[in-house]
Copies of this chain bind each other. A is one copy, B any other.
Amino acid sequence: METHHLHHQQEETNTTTNAGGVNGGGGRSSYLCRQSSTRWIPTTEQIRILRDLYYNGGVRSPSAEQIQRISARLRQYGKIEGKNVFYWFQNHKARERQKKRFTVDVPTPPIPTPTNNPSIPTFASPTGMVGNNGSLLMERAYMDCYGTVGGNIGWVGMDPYRICPHQGEVGEGEMGEDMQTLPLFPMHGEDVCLGRSDGSDECYDNNNSNPWYLTDESSQPSLQLSLHSPGSTFGHY
């Protein structure tokens, strides 16, 4: 999932990006207006980073401090607020789980029965709607036969976060999900190790070991304040 999209970026410094003009209307399908709408529209970079944190950094439910830092970092790629980061993780995690939840779909048919017989037990449905061919739903938790299948999750299909087709780019492939319909294997590794491949690892400390914000909150902000220098600042994060 996450396949397409990635609508227009509003990126930073963009300027040219249409900003004012409504682009030609022609633009079929393209996005007509960047809406200065209310909702946050993550840029590709932001998404990339978020995903990296999620999959490689193991961040799933960042604390307030983490959120602050993350959003601060992402801000260089575009407008963003803490809540966006918060929601992003919430949604990402929730969706991943949700998928897993109702995707029990037979990735690999547990049982032979080549010819599946449509014998779906129809239970009386409390809700009504019985009768006619239909009844099959309803609340009968049952038939949950297959537990989660191994490590696969995700509903089939695509990879998480591909960026928009047009955008090209993207890369990253890491998906952690499976796909049954695709030719390749997911090979998700799931090893969410913290270390980053590049070797540096000091990031993502989940375990807040850093005293600075623990000791005195107010110190944090000011601290950073003095910290940043316009030029240097590399973000070796």
Contacts and interface: CB of A to CB of B under 8 A. Distances in A.
B174 A10 contact: yes
A83 B103 contact: yes
Interface of A: 10-16, 19, 21-23, 32-38, 49, 52-53, 56-59, 62-73, 75-83, 85-86, 98-99, 101-106, 114-116, 118, 120, 125, 127-129, 132-139, 141, 143-145, 147-149, 151, 153, 155-157, 159, 161, 169-178, 180-183, 202-206, 208, 210-215, 217-218, 220-237
A159 B206 contact: no
Per DSSP, are chain A's interface residues mostly helix, strand or loop, or mixed? loop
A229 B234 CA distance: 10
B232 A217 contact: no
B234 A72 contact: yes
A102 B69 CA distance: 9
Nearest to A80: B177
A214 B155 CA distance: 30
A64 B98 contact: yes
Contact of A233 (B32, B70, B232): B232
